[in-house]
Amino acid sequence: MTDDLVLRRQVCFALYAASRALTDVYRPILDEFGLTYPQYLVLLVLWERGDDAPTVSELGAALRLDSGTLSPLLKRLEAAGLVVRSRSARDERRVEVGLTADGAALRQRIGEVPARVARATGLTQAELVALRDSLTRVTETIHRQKEQ
Amino acid sequence: MTDDLVLRRQVCFALYAASRALTDVYRPILDEFGLTYPQYLVLLVLWERGDDAPTVSELGAALRLDSGTLSPLLKRLEAAGLVVRSRSARDERRVEVGLTADGAALRQRIGEVPARVARATGLTQAELVALRDSLTRVTETIHRQKEQ
DNA sequence: CACAATTAGATTGCGCACAACTTATCGGGG
DNA sequence: CCCCGATAAGTTGTGCGCAATCTAATTGTG
């Protein structure tokens, strides 16, 4: 029906607008650390991995980003002195992305960021969890369907 | 706490990933019409407005996009023959964005797109409405706080 | 009426996203 | 052992998104 073509009714627009609004909350906070939001996500993965440095592809799988996005982004993180990229010895095609001391140390300083952002959403902890789980379900449903 | 810095726990990542996943669903569908997703959103607003052509700022207020994004986007929609941009007679600073016959006609052909996309999410109608309302609430809370 | 401040839109520059392509390396089958 | 398909990362080109800046038109104030 034609009535479906109304902006306010579209889940996709709500998603698109909420995503940009939340990025707006992150921007000034991450700016204090000289990071963009996608760069912060890459660091989250690296911090989580600890010592075993992921390859570019593994980072891409975690964040659902391809090398076209990650290669220049990682180059910038390397220029900022937060990560190191090195060709794998056993497979020269792979590039392993590791943290520098500065990159690892940043984790402590950035610790309270999620709480600051959560507060800005105006939702309770329970609501945030419910929202996150719905969103994750949407994402996984879509990706599952694409693989078939 | 440090445990908050885990990718899967972050609402923001869920939002970011879901938004891109849903855009992935739209891409091949909108591609049949030669549109990108933001261009489709602009058309949604124009179709909704009917005869009263919004200015660039009014479009921006509806979609929360600024002229830096909209100006080149509208130029492309104009080049595609879907919209016309014209300086307002009574205020030469304003540019009014109207639909061409082709742009207006596209509405009919594109009508079933939201239903196709909704199906791809794997959520029920009720779940989609609940999700949309949560997201809208997040967006509005954030914007309200920013204005103060 | 003059002129400063405001407003509207366009432009520039940067950093994603993503498709398409290129280069280099690897692994398996003849 | 050699080639051939597959895989990994990088590059190029396009289109957002947004900050910062610019130009032009308008409004408010004295």
Average pLDDT estimate for B73-77: 98
B143 and chain A: CB distance < 8 Å anywhere? yes
Q: What is the pLDDT of residue A99?
A: 98
Per-residue pLDDT for B121 more than 90? no
Mutate to test the interface with B, among A3, A5, A59, A145 (most CBs of B within 10 A): A5
Per-residue pLDDT for B1 more than 50? no
Alpha-carbon span B143 to B148, nearest angstrom: 9
Q: How many alpha carbons lie under 13 Å from residue B7 in its C-beta half-sphere?
A: 20
Contact state of B64 with A122 under an 8 Å Cβ cutoff: no
Element (H, E) at B83: strand B83-87
Q: How confident is the model at residue A145 (pLDDT cuts 50, 70, 90)?
A: confident
DSSP A84-131: EEEE-SS-TT-EEEEE-HHHHHHHHHTTTHHHHHHHHHT--HHHHHHH
Q: Find out if CATH 1.10.10.10 is the number for domain A2-122.
A: yes
Per-residue pLDDT for B44 more than 70? yes
* Share of residues in chain B with pLDDT > 90 (%): 70
Kindly list the domain boundaries of chain B, sorted by start residue: 35-108
Alpha-carbon span B35 to B46, nearest angstrom: 15
Element (H, E) at A11: helix A11-31
Which residue blocks in chain B are alpha helix, DSSP H?
11-31, 37-49, 56-63, 67-79, 101-109, 113-121, 125-146
- Out of 3.30.450.20, 1.10.10.10, 3.30.470.10, 2.40.30.10, the CATH code matching B35-108 is 1.10.10.10
